[in-house]
Structure formats: structure tokens, C-alpha cells
Amino acid sequence: MKSKVFILYTGGTFGMKKTKNGLVPSSWEEIITYLPAIKNQTYFDFFSNIEFTFETLSTVVDSSDMNPEIWESIAKKIYAIYANYDGFIILHGTDTLAYSASALSFMFNHLNKPIVLTGAQLPIFHPRTDGIVNLSNAIYIAGYASFNITCIPEVCICFNDDVLRGNRSVKTSTNDFEGFSSPNYENLAHLEHDIHINNHILNPKTTKKLELLHLFSSRVVNVTIFPGYNAAPLIDLVNQKKLEGIVLKTYGSGNLPKTRQWRDLIIACEKNKTLVLATTQCPNGKIEIGQYASSEVLISENVVDGKDITSEAALTKLMWVIGNYSYEERHKILSNNIRGEMT
């Protein structure tokens, strides 16, 4: 069966080249010469009957420059051509790849096709690059029909023979080829000698029409508690109505110091309609508000239990919920598992 796959190059290490000023993104025309397997009349086209369309972001970026405006442009591009392709691949820098995967997962409601993000730890021009394997594996997931494998109707990350749910993924290494992991969830698939897909954990397909909700609020902060943390500046920002949301990365299972300022922060948030999404600093496990007395301050109508959500998914979900929903709707949507992002 023929598959049509759309590949969007956004920049990142995958296409970086050396210059006197350091590594900078190169053009797709330069990159494609290093990818013989996806040129016309070579392996994927001739043997597997896959038709590729390639496009480059209007301005390719180092992933450190990724932002909600670029997320919106990527999502709108996919939304506009959604009916024309079986799957989509986004070539992306690794530093913010997990943020982008999480953000895109929330933007698309009723997704029935794979959107696969991948990249590389070494540029495609490097003799030991991991980019070729990562892209080849991503093609199998996006072009599933040509290989008679299960469709993964999700935003996912394909990296080093692993397929991870995008909003369950974190970057765990700056140099290891296994640069990403999913600390609280199984891999969606393993791409080894044989391809094994964990069908039982995939988000279900739907007959509903694809929806795109693409707005993000910038009036949020990510706060990591540490011994001696002074919450007074944060309270001031809330009282000045400069914040609509806080991701609060607590100790352990939801614990905070037993000082008055944390009660003052929650009172300020209640008064000014600022939501707090409580998460844990631990990469594994989840928070359980109320388990310890030191988490009692978080029992509030303005505090949402983040359960086992990742830091990247927590921040992007909070930005997205505030951007698209009224204050009265936000707590419920943040609390619910809407894209498989938490348990």
C-alpha cells in the first residue's frame, strides 16, 4: 500500500554544519545529499512505495529559539494538509524537542495520524551521525501503511530505536544516542530487528473531525523549590496580576517548607485567579497531595494535582489551557488526562 509522508525540517543539530562561528543550521538542499535512502527512486520510494514531500520552516532555527509562535506555524501547516498525508515527520533540535512534542499533542484534538518528531545528537554531516537511523525509523512510523504495521495516532518522539509518547518524554542526555526517555510510561514501540508496537497503550482512534487549538499564554512561570527559596517575589507577581499560572515543582510527593509564605502564595493565587499546577521534582513517580502534612497547604481550589506529568508537559499544558479556555474551565481540563500525558 502506498504511503504519503510529509517531512518538515525546522533546524536543530540534525542539519547543523560547522562554520567559523560554530554550528549553524544548513539548508534542506545540503542535507538531502546525505540521505540517499529517501531520494526519489531509492529505497523508500522504489521498494516501499512511499511518496515524500519535503518542506522547510520559513526560518530554520536552533531549537533553543523554539517558541509558541513556531509551534503554531508548525501545527497550522500540518492542519492545512492533514487530509493529504498518512503521516508527518518534524525534524527538530533535541534541546526543546520534548516541549514541542508536548505542545503539539495538546494542540491537536481527535488526532488519527502519526506526527513524529525526531532529530540527532550528531549532525547528518558527521560520519557517526545518528540522524540517518532516527529519520529512517521515523519514516516507518509515519509511513506505517507501506510496512503493514499499526498506525500510532499520536504525537510521538522517535529516537534511537524507541518510539515515545511525546507528552511523556524528557531529554535525559546531551550526548548519548539514547537521548530521550519516558520515565513514567512504557515505550509506544521498539524498533529493533523486528518492530514491536504496544497496541494496548496507544491513544484510541476516533471518528471525530480533527480540531486545532493553537493559542498559548506567556503569563506562566516554572518554579523549582529549593532549600531557602524565597517566595516573596513570586507572591508580588501574583498580586500584580502578572501571572495566570504557576508550575510548582515540589519536593517528593508534593511537599513544601512549613513557612507562612507558601500559605500566602496560595491565598494570593486564589484571590487573583492564578492556577497552580503542582508537580514533583523527581523524574519517576507522582505527587500525592495530603500524604504528608507538609503538602496540606496545596489543598486548594486553585491548585491542580499534576500526578506524574513531566515538567515539559506540565508547562506546555498550562500555557495551552490558559490560552484556549476560560478561567472556569481551566481547573477541570488541567486535572484530566486528555492526551495520555498523566495517570
DSSP one-letter string for 78-139: HHHHGGG-SEEEEE--STTHHHHHHHHHHHEES--S-EEEE--SS-TTSTT-SHHHHHHHHH
Q: Are residue 90 and residue 230 in the same domain, yes or no?
A: no
pLDDT digits (tens, 9 = 90+) for 109-133: 999 999 999 999 999 989 899 999 9
Specify the CATH number for the domain of residue 35.
Answer: 3.40.50.1170
343 falls within a domain: no
Catalytic residues: 13
Closest CA to 294 of 332, 258, 341: 258
Domain check: are 295 and 240 in the same one?
yes
pLDDT tens digits, one per residue of 152-168: 999 999 999 999 999 99
Residue 342 domain-assigned (yes or no) = no
Residues 202 and 315 in one domain: no
First to last CA, the chain: 36
pLDDT band with cut points at 50, 70 and 90 for residue 73 = very high
SS3 319: helix
Domain match, 169 and 224 both = no
Res 222: pLDDT: 97
Question: Is the domain of 282 the same as that of 153?
Answer: no
What is the C-alpha to C-alpha distance for residues 203 and 199, in angstroms, rounded to an integer? 9
List b or e across 149-182, with b for residues whose CB sees 16 or more CB atoms inside 10 angstroms: bebbbbbbbbbbbbbbbbbbbbbeeeeebebbbb
For residues 114 and 9, membership in a common domain is answered with yes
Residues 22 and 136 in one domain: yes
Is the same domain home to 51 and 171?
yes
- Per the structure, the complete domain to which residue 75 belongs is given by 3-212
In a domain, 191, yes or no: yes
315 vs 243: CA distance, rounded Å? 13
Residue 341 placed within a domain: no
Residue 145 lies in a domain: yes
Query: Per-residue pLDDT for 21 more than 90?
Result: no
Q: Determine the pLDDT at residue 203.
A: 95
Same domain for 202 and 224: no
- The pLDDT of residue 42 is 67
Q: Examine the domain organization and report whether 191 and 100 are in the same domain.
A: yes
Q: Map grid coordinates 492556577 to a residue.
A: 275
Which class for 335: exposed (0-12), middle (13-18), buried (19 or more C-beta within 10 A)? middle
Here the CATH number for the domain that contains residue 259 is 3.40.50.40
Could you tell me if 319 and 245 lie in one domain?
yes
Reported as a single tens digit per residue, the pLDDT across 48-63 is 788 899 999 988 998 9
Rounded percentage of the chain residues whose pLDDT exceeds 90: 85
Residues 196 and 328 in one domain: no
**In this predicted model, what pLDDT tens digit does every residue of 190-239 receive, in sequence order?**
999 899 999 999 999 999 999 999 999 999 999 999 999 999 999 999 99
The β-bridge partners of 157 are 117, 164
**Domain boundary residue among 160, 195, 212?**
212
The last residue of one of the domains, among 177, 212, 247, is: 212
pTM across the whole model: 0.95
Cα–Cα dist 262/251, whole Å:
13
CA-CA-CA-CA dihedral for 163, 165, 170, 176, to nearest 10: 0
DSSP structural state of residue 161: T
* Number of domains making up the chain: 2
Which of 212, 237, 255 is at the close of a domain?
212
Amino acid at 35: L
Q: How confident is residue 25, by pLDDT bands cut at 50, 70 and 90?
A: confident
Rounded-to-integer distance, Cα 126 and Cα 35, Å:
12
Residue 43 is predicted with a pLDDT of 66
Question: Does residue 124 lie in a domain region?
Answer: yes
